[in-house]
């Protein structure tokens, strides 16, 4: 059995088999240096793509450097991975034909909150993400809790600002009322001037008639 790397229909480069593979066969081992999770985070903090595989001890990951690192994710895979006596193997879930691209379900269990880890496998029952179903549920609950905390914080801030807002509203209302009074006084003054002017004009007309 030979494995080769070609352009993938799923994502970037993928791993293909040139010979048929029997169900249950060990296809390839996931190899690479074993490093701590802390070191991996430091090494790949800004990396766009990594080939890290988490081990069951929860303390280390394999920094993939072999052919297995090119096997893509699929929500309908033909392979699976299993850690056997400390070694990680890719196993055939079913009979795989020559020329098929190998894929297994990544079942990602961590990641940045904003990282959606989108899936492009195109399977009929694609989850839309490479996260496991358990991780999807956990992230959904975390998102709800975060929203709830944000709403509570917003209410707390509004409550703390209420006295200041009330004072600002009173001051704005006072300014509006003062402006209204000034406008009313000015309007009355203009009306009074018009009345006085009209009265004088009437007196002048009356005096002109008597003189005639």
Q: Which domains does the chain possess?
A: 3-131 (2.170.270.10)
The length of the chain is: 212
pLDDT of amino acid 89: 97
| pTM for the structure as a whole | 0.69
68, burial (CB in 10 Å: exposed 0-12, middle 13-18, buried 19+): buried
Q: Which residues pair with 138 in a beta bridge?
A: none
Residue with tokens 């269990």: 109
Distance CA 83, CA 70 (A): 18
pLDDT of amino acid 1: 65
Query: Contact, 61 vs 112, CB < 8 A?
Result: no
pLDDT of amino acid 48: 79
CA 45 to chain centre: 18
37, burial (CB in 10 Å: exposed 0-12, middle 13-18, buried 19+): middle
Choose among 50, 16, 11: nearest CA to 33.
Answer: 50
pLDDT of amino acid 10: 94
Residue with tokens 């297994």: 104
Alpha helices in the chain (DSSP H): 37-43, 133-211
Residue with tokens 């494995």: 3
Which helix H or strand E contains 62, and what residues bound it? strand 60-63
Mean pLDDT, contiguous 10-residue spans, the chain (212 residues): 91 95 97 95 87 91 94 97 95 97 92 86 94 92 90 81 74 76 57 58 56 52
32: left (phi over 0), alpha (psi -120 to 50) or beta: left
Copy the structure tokens of residue 133: 């179903």
């Amino acid at each position: 059995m030979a494995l080769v790397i070609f352009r993938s229909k799923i994502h970037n480069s993928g791993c293909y088999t040139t010979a048929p593979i029997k169900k249950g066969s060990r296809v390839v081992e996931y190899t690479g240096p074993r490093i701590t999770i802390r070191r991996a985070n430091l090494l790949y903090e800004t990396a766009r793509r990594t080939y890290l595989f988490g081990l069951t001890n929860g303390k280390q990951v394999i920094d993939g450097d072999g052919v297995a690192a090119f096997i893509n994710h699929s929500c309908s895979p033909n392979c699976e991975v299993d850690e056997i006596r400390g070694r990680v193997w890719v196993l055939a879930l079913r009979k795989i034909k020559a020329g098929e691209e190998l894929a297994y379900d990544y079942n990602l269990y961590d990641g940045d909150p904003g990282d959606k880890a989108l899936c492009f496998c195109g399977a009929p029952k694609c989850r839309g993400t490479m996260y496991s179903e358990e991780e999807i549920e956990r992230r959904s609950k975390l998102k709800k809790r975060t929203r709830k905390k944000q709403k509570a914080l917003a209410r707390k801030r509004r409550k703390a600002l209420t006295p200041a807002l009330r004072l600002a509203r009173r001051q704005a209302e006072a300014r509006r009322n003062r402006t209204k009074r000034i406008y009313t006084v000015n309007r009355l003054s203009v009306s009074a001037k018009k009345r006085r002017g009209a009265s004088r004009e009437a007196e002048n007309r009356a005096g002109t008639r008597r003189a005639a």
